[in-house]
C-alpha cells in the first residue's frame, strides 16, 4: 500500500501547486466563483467530466456491473443521457442569465426575496445531501488505501478541499477537476487496452465468458433493482436531476458565452460517456477475471472492483505491475472525491455568501473585495461542517443521501428552473410551491423507503423520483395559480426571454 500513498502524495503536491498558482490569479468575486468566465470549451468539458464522475460513478458503476450485470450498465448510461437535457434546455440559458449561482436565475426572473430564499434552500439541501456521503466515502476509501484511520482520512480530505476552494476558488477547483479527468480517462484507457488485448480485441468474448461463468440471468435486468418502478425512477432521476445539481450547473458560468457552454457539453458527453461505457466492460471483465467472490470479499458493495481489476491486469497481488496499477487507480479514486467535494463546497459557499448574505440580507449592496473575503470564509466554514458531518456519518447508512440528492435535484430544483425559463405565468408562489413540495416529498419518501428502513419500509421504492418529480411540478403549478396573476412579472418576461436566448440584458 505504500506505493498507493506515494502516487497519491504526488497527485496531492500537483493539486497544491495548482492552488498556489490559482490563488495568485483569484482576486475578484467573478474570479472566485466563475474564473471570470474565461475558460475554453475543452477546458470546461474536461472539468465537467471531472466534476460529474464522482466516486459513485468511478468505483460504483464498475462494481454494480461486476456483481449485478445489466443494472450496472443502466446506472452508467443514465449520466450520459442526462446531458441531452442539459444541452437542449439548460446550459445556454444558464450561461446567458445567471452570474454565479442557480439562485441568480430565479432572482433575475422573479425579483423577489422569497423566491431567492426558496432557491437557496434547494441548493443547500442538495449540496449537503451530496457532500455528506462523499465525505463518508472518502473516509472509507482513504483508510482502506493508505491505512490511516477513518477520522483522519475525513479530516485530510476536508482540509485539502478547504485549501483548494478558499485560496484558489473556481480556478483551482477547475484545474483539480481537469487533472482528475485526465488521470481517470488515462486509467480507463490503459485498463481497456489491457482487457481487449487479453480477449483478442473481441468484446463479445466478455459477454460469452460472463454468461458461461454466471448463467443467463446475470446478463438480464432486475438483479439489483428488483422493483420495475425503481428502474424508471433511476432513469428520470438521472435525465432530469443533473439539470438541478447546482455544483455541476454552475460550471457553465466559467465560459464566456452560450456557444462555448454548448461546445463544452458536447466535450463532456464524449469524454464522460466513453468512460461510462468503459465501466460496463470493466465490470464484466472483473467478474470474469477476478471473480465475484473475491470482489464481494473485498467490499460487499463491490466498490473495490476497479482497483482489484487493475491489480489483476498489472500482474496480480504482490507483483510490481499489480501494485503500480492498484496504486494508480486508487489514487485516481481519491482525486475524484477531492474534485467533487471541492465543487460542492464552492457551490454551497455561493448559495450562502452570494445568494443569502449578499443578495438576500444586504440586497446586493456589498463591496467587491468584501464579497470575495466573505466567500472564502464561508467556504472554510462549510468545509469544517462537512468534516464534522463526515466523521458523524461513520457507520451510518449514507446511501439514502445519495438518492436524496439526485431526487431533490430532479423534483425541486429542476421543475422550478425549467418553469422559470419557459413559463410566462410562473411566479414566486410557484417557486415556493415547487421547492417545498419537491423537497418534502423527496425527503419523506426516501426516509420511509427501503434504503432507510430496510424490511420495515412503509413504501416500496428505494428511489422515489417517479412520484416526487410529478409532485414537484404539481406544487409549482398549484403554487403559481394560488399566488394569482402577477402582471408586472409577466410583462418582464419578454425582457427575460431576450436575455435567456441571446445573453443580452435589455434596459
Partner 1 sequence: MARNGASPEAAHASVKRLIAEKLRFLVPMTIIFMVGYIGLTALAGFAKDLMGTKVVGSVNLGFTLIAFNYLLSWLLAIVYGRIAADRFDPLAAKAASETIDRG
Which positions lie near partner 1, rule CB under 8 A?
70-71, 73-74, 77-78, 80-81, 83-85, 87-89, 92, 204, 207-208, 210-211, 216, 219-222, 225, 227-232, 234-236, 239, 258-259, 262-263, 265-266, 269-270, 273, 277, 280, 494-495, 497-498, 501-504, 506
Residue with Cβ nearer partner 1 (229 or 357)? 229
Minimal distance, residue 216 CB to partner 1, in Å:
7
Closest CA to 121 of 344, 471, 432: 432
Give Cα separations from 352 to 103, 348, 409, 431 (angstroms).
Answer: 10, 6, 18, 19
Minimal distance, residue 45 CB to partner 1, in Å:
11
Residue 191 has, within 13 A of its CA and on its CB side, a CA count of 33
Residue with Cβ nearer partner 1 (125 or 461)? 461
Question: What is the b/e burial string over 88-114, where b = at least 16 CB atoms within 10 angstroms of the residue's CB?
Answer: ebbbbbbbbbbbbbbbbbbbbbbebee
- Any idea of the CA torsion for 240, 243, 245, 246, to the nearest 10 degrees? -160
Largest CA-CA distance found in the chain, in angstroms, rounded: 72
| Dihedral over Cα of 236, 238, 243, 245: its sign | positive
Minimal distance, residue 415 CB to partner 1, in Å:
16
Report the distance separating Cα 300 and Cα 279, nearest Å: 18
Closest CA to 435 of 125, 111, 119, 124: 119
Minimal distance, residue 303 CB to partner 1, in Å:
22
Minimal distance, residue 187 CB to partner 1, in Å:
20
Residue with Cβ nearer partner 1 (239 or 345)? 239
Helix (H, G, I), strand (E, B) or coil at 47: helix
Residue with Cβ nearer partner 1 (296 or 492)? 492
Residue with Cβ nearer partner 1 (14 or 266)? 266
- Any idea of the CA torsion for 18, 21, 25, 29, to the nearest 10 degrees? 40
Residue with Cβ nearer partner 1 (256 or 273)? 273
Residue with Cβ nearer partner 1 (251 or 376)? 251
Report the distance separating Cα 337 and Cα 94, nearest Å: 26
Report the distance separating Cα 499 and Cα 496, nearest Å: 5
Minimal distance, residue 143 CB to partner 1, in Å:
34
Minimal distance, residue 459 CB to partner 1, in Å:
17
Amino acid at each position: 500500500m505504500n506505493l498507493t500513498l506515494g502516487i497519491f502524495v504526488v497527485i496531492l503536491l500537483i493539486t497544491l501547486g495548482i492552488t498556489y498558482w490559482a490563488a495568485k490569479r483569484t482576486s475578484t468575486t467573478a474570479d472566485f466563483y466563475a474564473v471570470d468566465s474565461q475558460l475554453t470549451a475543452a477546458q470546461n468539458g474536461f472539468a465537467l467530466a471531472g466534476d460529474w464522475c464522482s466516486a459513485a460513478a468511478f468505483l460504483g458503476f464498475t462494481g454494480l456491473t461486476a456483481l449485478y450485470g445489466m443494472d450496472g450498465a443502466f446506472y452508467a448510461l443514465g449520466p450520459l443521457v442526462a446531458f441531452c437535457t442539459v444541452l437542449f434546455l439548460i446550459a445556454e440559458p444558464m450561461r446567458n442569465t445567471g452570474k454565479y449561482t442557480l439562485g441568480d436565475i430565479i432572482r433575475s426572473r422573479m425579483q423577489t426575496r422569497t423566491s431567492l430564499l426558496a432557491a437557496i434552500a434547494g441548493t443547500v439541501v442538495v449540496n449537503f445531501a451530496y457532500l455528506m456521503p462523499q465525505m463518508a466515502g472518502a473516509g472509507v476509501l482513504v483508510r482502506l488505501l493508505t491505512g490511516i484511520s477513518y477520522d483522519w482520512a475525513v479530516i485530510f480530505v476536508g482540509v485539502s478541499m478547504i485549501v483548494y476552494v478558499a485560496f484558489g476558488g473556481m480556478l483551482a477547483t477547475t484545474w483539480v477537476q481537469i487533472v482528475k479527468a485526465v488521470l481517470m480517462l488515462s486509467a480507463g484507457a490503459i485498463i481497456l487496452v489491457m482487457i481487449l488485448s487479453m480477449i483478442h480485441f473481441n468484446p463479445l468474448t466478455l459477454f460469452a465468458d460472463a454468461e458461461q461463468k454466471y448463467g443467463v440471468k446475470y446478463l438480464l435486468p432486475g438483479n439489483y433493482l428488483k422493483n420495475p418502478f425503481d428502474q424508471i425512477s433511476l432513469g428520470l432521476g438521472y435525465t432530469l436531476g443533473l439539470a438541478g445539481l447546482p455544483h455541476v450547473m454552475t460550471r457553465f458560468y466559467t465560459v464566456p458565452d452560450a456557444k462555448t457552454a454548448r461546445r463544452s457539453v458536447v466535450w463532456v458527453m464524449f469524454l464522460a460517456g466513453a468512460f461510462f461505457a468503459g465501466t460496463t466492460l470493466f465490470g464484466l471483465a472483473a467478474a470474469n477475471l477476478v471473480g465475484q467472490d473475491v470482489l464481494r470479499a473485498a467490499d460487499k458493495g463491490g466498490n473495490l472492483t476497479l482497483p482489484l481489476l487493475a491489480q489483476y491486469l498489472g500482474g496480480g497481488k504482490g507483483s510490481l505491475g499489480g501494485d503500480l496499477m492498484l496504486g494508480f487507480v486508487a489514487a485516481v479514486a481519491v482525486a475524484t472525491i477531492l474534485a467533487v467535494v471541492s465543487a460542492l463546497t464552492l457551490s454551497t459557499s455561493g448559495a450562502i455568501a452570494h445568494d443569502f448574505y449578499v443578495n438576500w440580507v444586504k440586497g446586493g449592496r456589498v463591496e467587491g473585495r468584501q464579497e470575495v473575503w466573505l466567500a472564502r470564509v464561508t467556504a472554510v466554514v462549510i468545509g469544517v461542517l462537512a468534516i464534522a458531518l463526515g466523521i458523524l456519518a461513520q457507520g451510518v447508512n449514507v446511501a439514502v443521501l445519495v438518492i436524496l440528492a439526485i431526487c431533490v435535484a430532479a423534483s425541486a430544483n429542476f421543475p422550478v428552473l425549467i418553469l422559470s425559463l419557459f413559463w410566462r405565468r410562473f411566479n414566486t408562489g410557484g417557486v415556493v410551491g415547487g421547492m417545498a413540495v419537491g423537497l418534502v416529498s423527496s425527503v419523506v419518501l426516501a426516509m420511509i423507503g427501503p434504503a432507510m428502513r430496510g424490511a420495515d419500509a412503509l413504501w416500496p421504492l428505494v428511489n422515489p423520483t417517479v412520484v416526487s418529480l410529478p409532485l414537484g411540478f404539481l406544487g409549482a403549478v398549484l403554487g403559481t395559480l394560488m399566488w394569482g396573476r402577477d402582471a408586472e412579472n409577466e410583462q418582464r418576461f419578454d425582457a427575460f426571454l431576450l436575455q435567456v436566448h441571446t445573453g443580452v440584458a435589455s434596459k
